[in-house]
Structure formats: structure tokens, C-alpha cells
Amino acid sequence: LVFLPIISKTKHPRATEAATKYFLTQTTASCLLMLTSVINAWYTGTWAITQLDNKTASALMLLALTMKAGAAPTHFWLPEVMQGCTMTKAILISTWQKIAPTILILSTYHHTPSKIAIIAGLLSTAYGGWGGINQTQLRKMMAYSSITNMGWTLLILSSQPKVSMINLLLYMAIITPAMLIMEQTSTKTLRDMTSMWSISPILATITTLLLLSAAGLPPLTGFLPKLITLNELVTQNLTSLALVAATTTLLNLVFYLRTAYLTTLLTPPNSTSTSMKWRQQINTQAMMLAPFALTTMITLATMTS
């Protein structure tokens, strides 16, 4: 509820719509959590949601928390809410607001139905990839990227919960500076990405590397949790699931490569007399993000040494 006035602070009908959708979704998920507690108390006599011995209660618990975190198949609200917010608020929704439900999922992973978690993970990676391909709005693209990341988190949840948390934290460390740079450079659509190089080549390069890292392109940092997840799935004789997950990740790589192409290889139309934007003063706050962003682009050789 605290986040509702933050969303609706912007005096725009789209912001009000986003706040309403966020409220209805989170309220529904909270009601499911309460129903889970009631069912668990009915069968076990305890209200502790970390001790779920009933299969129905465990399934409802996972459904409620994936709805709060924005994972498929209950992801429908996330792209619309992020599109109705400013980029700064979208950062909070795609990162900070996912911490609490993810921690609850990790604290109950012993009782989480592994098959349902894997199905939700595969659906998230698939929906996140397909949904992001046709997007031109960067906030919606980041929303589908967040859905995909939650899918990878759920895939490895039952067997390696620590890897799930590392995957989420690495994603937050990668995507936060990328979206902050978009905010500071007033970049909202793919068309705006074509002018980022003329504004600041340094920030354009950093943003490109961050987005490719979020896509899991080796040897950037974002490839490491995906490699660990695929290795764990193969170890558990789930090679077909690993193949499907890796294939759906290629969909994410498609729209991230398209964004990288627009950022680094295209320039907006201008005449010979047009003054270059890079000659103007660069935003100091945006440049301050560069050292923090560089820390998220460590190569695999450095991380594994």
C-alpha cells in the first residue's frame, strides 16, 4: 500500500490506471496468502506459512507469491503498471518490490511443489521472450525482461535456492544502472536509443553492455547464473527443460541485440549544419552511474578465478 501513492504521484490518467491495477493485483495476491494460511491452519493447526504440509496450500502459496513477483502465468499486470510509471518507479517495481515475495518463496522452498515451480519458470521465460520482441517502449521491454528473470529464478528454486537469490541480485545490479541511465538521458522508446550515442558515447556503450549482460550473453556477468542453472538442470537429468529454457532465452537476446544495434550503430537523421549533441554538457548524475555500472560487467574469467 505504501507504493500506491508513489505510483499515483504523477498527475496523469495512465499513472492512476497503473496504481489501480497494482492495487487490485497485490490485494488479490494478499487474499490468496490469507487463504493459504487458513487452509494450512485447518489441516495442521499452525498459522506459520513456512510449515506448509498441505499440497493445496503450497500451490496457492506459490501462486500468490509469483503474482506478487510478476512471474507467469500471473504476469499480466507488470508490463501495464511499469508502462504507466516513470522510469524511476519502474526500477523499484522490477527490482525492490520483488525482494519480499522472492524471500518468502525461498523460505518455503522445502514445501514448494517443484513441478509447478518449473512449469511457472518455463512459462515466464517463454512469455518474457515473446512479449518483449514486439515492444518499442523500453519500460515494457524491461518488464518482460523482469518476467524472464523470474522464470530463471523459479527454475532452480527447488534444488539450488542460493543460486536463485544470486540470480535475482545479479539481475538487480545489472538492470538498475541501465534503467537509471535511460532515466537520466530521457530515453523512453527504441527510437530514443538512436540518439543516445550522440548524447554520450560512454553511457551508450555502458548501457549496451549492461543490456547484453542482462540477456545472458557470454562472457558478461549475466551469463554466469544462467550457466549454473542449465548445469543444475542437466545434472538432474532435465536436459529437455534446459534446452527449452536456453531456447527461450534467445528470444530475449533478439530484442536486446536490436536495442544494442539501435544504440551503437544508428544515428538519428540530421543535416550537415546540425550541431552534435555530444558537444553539449553531459548530465553529471548520469556520468556518476558509469563506475557503478562497470562493476556489473565483470567477465566470467574474473569471477571464477
By mean pLDDT, which of 10-19, 87-96, 184-193, 282-291 is the weakest?
282-291
185 in a domain, yes or no? yes
Rounded distance, CA 120 to CA 66, Å?
Answer: 8
Predicted local confidence at residue 108, as pLDDT = 83
pLDDT > 70? residue 158:
yes
233 in a domain, yes or no? yes
280-305: b or e for each residue (b if 16 or more CB lie within 10 Å)?
Answer: eebbeebeebeeebeebbeeeeeeee
Q: What is the mean pLDDT of residues 120-146?
A: 91
Predicted local confidence at residue 30, as pLDDT = 92
276 in a domain, yes or no? no
Q: What is the mean pLDDT of residues 56-79?
A: 90
173 in a domain, yes or no? yes
Predicted local confidence at residue 279, as pLDDT = 41
Task: Decide which of 280 and 265 is more confident.
Answer: 265
Predicted local confidence at residue 175, as pLDDT = 92
Reported as a single tens digit per residue, the pLDDT across 224-270 is 889 989 998 899 888 898 999 999 888 888 888 888 888 877 665 55
pLDDT > 60? residue 296:
no
Q: What is the mean pLDDT of residues 58-75?
A: 90
Domains: count for the chain? 1
pLDDT tier at 281, thresholds 50, 70, 90: very low
Reported as a single tens digit per residue, the pLDDT across 15-58 is 888 889 999 999 999 999 999 888 888 887 777 777 777 788 88
Q: Calculate Rg over the CA atoms of the chain.
A: 20
Give residues with Cβ within 8 angstroms of 267, minimum separation 6.
194, 195, 197, 198
Phi and psi dihedrals of 137, rounded to 5?
-85, 125
CA 125 remoteness from chain centre: 11
Instruction: Report helix, strand or coil for 189.
Output: strand
Rounded distance, CA 89 to CA 94, Å?
Answer: 9
pLDDT tier at 276, thresholds 50, 70, 90: very low
Q: Name the grid cell of 187.
A: 530515453
Residue type, 38: V
pLDDT tier at 176, thresholds 50, 70, 90: very high
Pair 181, 218: CB distance under 8 Å: no
- 259: domain range? 12-268+281-304
For 137, which DSSP code? B
Question: Rounded mean pLDDT of the chain?
Answer: 83
pLDDT tier at 145, thresholds 50, 70, 90: very high
Q: What percent of the chain has pLDDT over 70?
A: 87
6 in a domain, yes or no? no
Predicted local confidence at residue 300, as pLDDT = 44
Pair 100, 46: CB distance under 8 Å: no
Reported as a single tens digit per residue, the pLDDT across 179-206 is 998 888 888 888 888 888 877 888 888 8
235 in a domain, yes or no? yes
4 in a domain, yes or no? no
Pair 177, 95: CB distance under 8 Å: no
Predicted local confidence at residue 288, as pLDDT = 53
Give the number of residues written for the chain.
Answer: 305
Question: Which of 194, 189, 192 has its CA nearest to residue 267?
Answer: 194
1 in a domain, yes or no? no
Q: What is the mean pLDDT of residues 285-299?
A: 50
